[in-house]
A and B are shown apart, each in its own frame.
Chain A
Amino acid sequence: MRLRVEFTKFGKIRFTSHRDVARMWERAIRRAELPISYSEGFNPRPKMSFGLALSTCHQSDAEYIDLEIDPQQASTVAPDSVADLLTQHLPDGLEAVRVVEIDRKTPSLQQAVTSCTWQIDVIDTDEETAAAAVARALAAEELIMRRQRKGKDVVDDLRPQLINLEIIGPIITGPDISGPNEEGVRMVAELGTKPRSVRPSELLAALEPPLTEWRVTRLNQWITDDDGSRREPIPRQLSSSAPLGAT
């Protein structure tokens, strides 16, 4: 039995890394006594696989993890109750919101997810400046990003993976910044993940002028089907009792 779990990551826990979150899941699964399958070999690991890593400091409304349940004990697991059970054993700030059973042949999250929608709040700018930067980016032929990879300078063009970018409007930063609250701008971006996942911070650095990140939230992950239509790894309207997958 394979389960796909959607979970959220908000609050102080957003400062933990992807690897930290993986360890939290391992412990939560053991505490919940969820009968997960283990890999063979000298160092058995629980069979669980994550989707695209979320950067440290970013929060998310749309994280996913696939869990392989021990087939001999699958009958004891009711997918409907798993979300609450896991949330109870996860640390504050991580919440399992939906769980569905998926087909054994369902492609992994890493393979399937093609783009993500991000809410990006920026500071030290105003709406006009940000809107101009967005317009320039959308009109540009290419968006150059320079980065270091294995000690070498690599130049990437982000433009093909910039699927959408729009300004939502002005915001006032929350109560968690020093001094008086600052004015900022909220944007929403859809960024492609193939062949390589583009990070919101990379996009902000490639804008003209570059914008300063304040708070980034992953809103959705998308799977694009062969017909070009897109859907989420667990469609929102789907109730947890209906199996999902290749059948």
Chain B
Amino acid sequence: MTSVWPRLEHLLPQVQKPARYIGCEDGAQAPDHGPGPVSWLLTYPDTYEVGLPNQGLQILYEILNERPDAAAERSYAPWSDLEALMRRDRVPLFSVDNHLAATDFDVIAFNLSAELVYTNVLNCIDLSGIAVRSLDRKDSDPLVAIGGHCAYNPEPLADFVDFVVLGDGEEVVGEITTVLAEWKRGGRGPGTREGVLRTLAGISGVYVPSMYEVSYDGPRIAEVAPRFADVPEQVEKRTVADLADWPYPKSQLVPLTEVVHDRLNVEVFRGCTRGCRFCQAGMITRPVRERPAEQVRSMITNGLKRTGYDEVALTSLSTADFSGIQQVIADTVSEPGCDQVSVALPSLRVDAFTVGIAAQIQRARRTGLTFAPEAGSWRMRQVINKMISEDDLFGAVESAYSQGWRRMKLYFLTGLPTETDPDTAGIAELATKCAELGRAHHGGAASVTVSVGGFVPKSNTPFQWFGQNTSAELNRKIGLIRDATRRNRAVKLKWHDPRATLIEGIASRGDRRIGAVIEYVWRRGGVFQEWSEHFNHDLWLEAMVACGLDVDWYVHRHREEDEILPWDHLSAGLHKDFLWQDWRDALDEVGLEDCRWTPCYDCGACTGYGVEHVVASATPPAGGSQGTGVAQSPTTGTAVSVEPRLVAGVAPS
């Protein structure tokens, strides 16, 4: 085991942003490997700037390194300039901590948060110097693992990975380590690789694709069957019951070079039961588990002091729903020495209450606020169960403009189930009305930026049966919005490339046969596909043809109720009949309330795993009608006050 640094160092002056490859972050560890500990190479298959802030990877990095029987280092996909030099000089994929070769590790574990990085996964495996297909790997090769949200449909990568982890990783990485440590103690003899994988398949939350046989009936899946009796028919996700037990990361990495989200990040809760039907994250991370407010406060205070950051983000899927939000923010901004600290709330609900919170934390810089109404009409928002009334939106926007913000950013999806042209046109109408509200306050300085993304149906959601819109249809819909906003100088329109949406759709609900497509694209240089300068739409379509697969069948086709979906043997806890009922409710334009504050409707996420919501407040937060059952704020109302006297009303009792 030797460092590749001497071979890497002289390449770095020849590449862009060499600081991506040096490690040296505050919080970085240089663990001893030795013969005993199980060594993990935690890899983010995108650039360092995108991958370093990933909280999941940092949490596992710390948890593993705290164990005496494990050692964890990190790796990121090298940019194409360095990759070319590495291939020329035969420098393998390396860790940025001790700069060890990837093959010095027992496990190479990838965090997957988007489909377009799949070809990068193959590239990183190949750069490691091992076979990309798991069946071709030798006994001595590292095991290749994946986790993260995309792992809920890992089938397109099934032929390339040895095992998959579903759900929260905090506990299961330890259980996997114990099995692998035993295997190492036994000498990892020839022929034992399959045996250890079979043992791993017995751990709850671990899926070993090679232990399952997929048979087809024409294009459809006939059966996904375990190859052995001791391999479970259905793999269940892992859920940590209480975030209070996992105050990680304790020493968030502070990079030496600029990265995205370059700030302290504190996760205030995990899971979301708002029930937005398009949102895979909200479906697969249930139930809601809040971190105790006291722990959030100490993580903020200690984190700022240790890192020297002047910004903290309170992260979750909908941070304004955190029971302790007002108290935590009030405490943070009044902390001595924190007068220069700004607080970011990356995922905000749309209502005036939220604007009030934003007003409290952005005392100085009131440049822009972002809201995600997601759909342009009330009917459409009932279908997707994002129950934001126009009063909520206009109340929020009016309140924001009246308190000094000048730029609003509104996120929308198009190509949603049952979407009609009036629904699409509603996006432009909402934006136009918001711009008018802004003009009343700031004249020509007010602006509204509308970001429109094409909807990609995801596994384990009520919309998993929906046939995605074609690129042509998405282009037409974006055209409708463009035509309706073109003359309005206060409205700026941005959209996600519908061709990329199409390719995401291929991988999102693909089966094992899509693996050949991913390999085809990778072998022809199609890496960094989520980067517009590298994205190669035509290469993907060429690969589909070459593999004899039909884009229409995989992407645009509505699935049927009795159809076996490629991920049906993998469970996020949600009953399939719950998801189907929710899909029918969507088509009937029936919304579903948030079960945090209303009776359980048995989706399965709690009951199946013996866990429940961990929420400090039994009442929904003030303001907004979004599934809370609480009266919405009046259209013309100004921001809900967030003076301390009101805090008691919603603080945990």
Contacts and interface: CB of A to CB of B under 8 A. Distances in A.
Interface in A32-48: 33, 38, 42-44
Interface stretch (A112-120, A132-140, A172-180): A172-180
A34 B437 CA distance: 44
Contacts of A42: 364-365
Contacts, number: 72
Interface string B347-375: 00000000000000000110000000000
Contact of B19 (A20, A30, A31, A175): A20
A24 B10 contact: no
Contacts of A15: 12, 18-19, 21-22
B24 A12 contact: yes
Given A16-B256, A57-B13, A26 B365 contact: no
Given A12-B24, A44-B340, A177-B6, 13 more contacts: A12-B22, A13-B256, A15-B22, A17-B257, A20-B258, A23-B258, A24-B256, A26-B310, A27-B307, A89-B308, A91-B26, A91-B256, A93-B24
Interface of B: 5-7, 9-10, 12-13, 17-19, 21-24, 26, 89, 254, 256-258, 305-310, 337, 340, 364-365
Interface string A163-186: 000000000000111100000000
A111 interface: no
Contacts of A16: 19, 22, 256-257
13 contacts: A16-B257, A20-B19, A20-B256, A20-B257, A27-B254, A38-B340, A42-B365, A43-B364, A57-B18, A92-B24, A93-B24, A176-B10, A178-B7
A73 to B, nearest CB: 12
A121 to B, nearest CB: 12
Contact of B308 (A13, A19, A28): A28
A91 B7 CA distance: 24
User: Among the interface residues B10, B23, B365, which one has the most CB atoms of the partner chain A within 10 A?
Assistant: B10
A33 B340 CA distance: 12
A43 B342 CA distance: 11
A102 to B, nearest CB: 25
Given A23-B258, A176-B6, A12 B23 contact: yes
Given A15-B12, A176-B5, A178-B10, A31 B256 contact: no
Contacts of A13: 22, 24, 256
Nearest to A173: B10
Contacts of A92: 24
Interface of A: 12-13, 15-17, 19-20, 23-24, 26-31, 33, 38, 42-44, 56-57, 89, 91-93, 175-178, 213
Contacts of A24: 256
Given A15-B18, A20-B19, A27 B337 contact: no
Contacts of B306: 31
Contacts of A177: 6, 9-10
A134 to B, nearest CB: 22
A129 to B, nearest CB: 21
A92 B27 CA distance: 12
A26 B341 CA distance: 13
A44 B339 CA distance: 11
User: Among the interface residues A12, A24, A28, A38, which one has the most CB atoms of the partner chain B within 10 A?
Assistant: A12
A56 B308 CA distance: 23
B550 to A, nearest CB: 47
A93 B25 CA distance: 12
B305 A31 contact: yes
Given A23-B258, A93-B24, A175 B6 contact: yes
A175 B21 CA distance: 19
Contacts of A17: 17, 19, 257
Contacts of A57: 12-13, 18
Contacts of B22: 12-13, 15-16
A31 B305 CA distance: 6
A56 B256 contact: no
Contacts of A20: 19, 256-258
Nearest to B364: A42
Nearest to A94: B256
Contacts of B364: 42-44
Contacts of A29: 308
A123 to B, nearest CB: 9
A43 B256 CA distance: 22
Contacts of B12: 15, 57
Contacts of A33: 337
B453 to A, nearest CB: 30
A91 B254 CA distance: 10
A42 B364 CA distance: 5
Contacts of B18: 15, 56-57
Nearest to A29: B308
A118 B82 CA distance: 28
A91 B306 CA distance: 12
B19 A176 contact: no
The 5 A-B pairs of least Cβ separation, nearest first, read A27-B308, A31-B308, A15-B18, A30-B308, A12-B22
A43 B365 CA distance: 7
Nearest to A38: B340
Contacts of A175: 6
B474 to A, nearest CB: 36
Nearest to A57: B13
Contacts of A213: 13
Contacts of A28: 308
A26 B308 contact: yes
